[in-house]
Amino acid sequence: MPELPEVETIVRGLANRVIGDVIESVWLSSRPEPFRSPIAEIAARLSHARITGVRRKGKYIVFELENSYGPIRHKKAARKACAPQAHRIEWIVHLGMTGRMLICSPGEPIERHTHAIAKLESGRELRFVDPRRFGRLSVSPQGTFEPGGSEPLDITLDSFVSLFHRRKTAIKAALLNQKLLRGVGNIYADEALFRAGIRPRRQAATLTTRELGKLYLSLRQVLAEAILAGGSSIADYVGADGEEGFFQAEHRVYGRQGEPCLVCKKTIKRVVIGGRSSHYCPQCQR
């Protein structure tokens, strides 16, 4: 499941290979689930667009595009604001659980569950494949796409503390809430809580400032380490190049229920919080 470090890895891989390339044509599947903009609009905006950048926002991949058509005309909003940057748009992709953005040569067989193919001038193809169709794909005028929440690697300690210190929910649920922090998913929430010595069920508001400080550092540390390792690859996830990250070897609690804690040897537990499996050490986490 691609979370912040995986998406960051994918984005870096994509940026190296598609920036400057031009989308010649686009094919979109007739299954509408992944598409969050009208199919005709996606096709029109992507076709003949030059890819000028690829960025990550939370768990979203943002392709920055320049095309020769006019601005996207959304109902009433931003009509005047569009004028000066009329040709700049963003192609937004969320990989959901099982989504992958592949760079392929045209001869490669089309995988089952391929929902979008962008043919590039360089002769390669960008393919969006997603068996479970939890992934999302849309286009929007540049600068208008703004998922809620703060980037965990940019937020200050003070802002981080103020996000959580009054929350009534379990800290695990709060970490997964994308309106607070964006990009943190199940794996890194569990790993950060383990490193901080905090049980996932603890109500956020009961955490001391000291504990929140520890969590802040733990989260940033685990995300940074995972990015350096190229992300985790579990079952469905493979990077843009098709290579796998290797951070999963560093997981200390995620998926290790029943196994001994690497620190104290107590058995790692698995519980469900807010419908999400949560893994923790009953000895090291309080």
Partner DNA sequence: ACTATTTCCTGGATGC
Partner DNA sequence: TGCATCCAGGAAATAG
Interface residues toward DNA, by CB under 7 A: 1, 3, 33, 58-60, 94, 96-98, 112-113, 131-134, 147, 167-170, 173, 176, 178, 182, 185-186, 272, 274-277
The 3-state DSSP class for residue 202 equals coil
User: Quick check: is 252 catalytic?
Assistant: no
User: Quick check: is 2 catalytic?
Assistant: yes
Nearer to DNA (CB atom), residue 49 or residue 93: 93
Long-range contacts of 174-180 (CB under 8 A, 24+ apart): 174/204, 175/219, 176/274, 176/276, 177/149, 178/58, 178/59, 178/147, 178/148, 178/149, 179/148, 179/149, 180/149, 180/150
- Rounded Cα distance between 223 and 153, Å, is 8
User: How near is the Cβ of 122 to DNA at its closest, in Å?
Assistant: 30
User: How near is the Cβ of 42 to DNA at its closest, in Å?
Assistant: 17
User: How near is the Cβ of 59 to DNA at its closest, in Å?
Assistant: 4
User: Quick check: is 276 catalytic?
Assistant: yes
Nearer to DNA (CB atom), residue 123 or residue 143: 143
Catalytic residue among 57, 59, 127, 136: 59
Nearer to DNA (CB atom), residue 67 or residue 186: 186
Q: Which residues of 63-87 are buried (b: 16+ CB within 10 A; e: fewer)?
A: bbbbbeeebbeeeeebeeebeeeee
Catalytic residue among 3, 6, 90, 211: 3
**Catalytic center residues:** 2-3, 59, 276
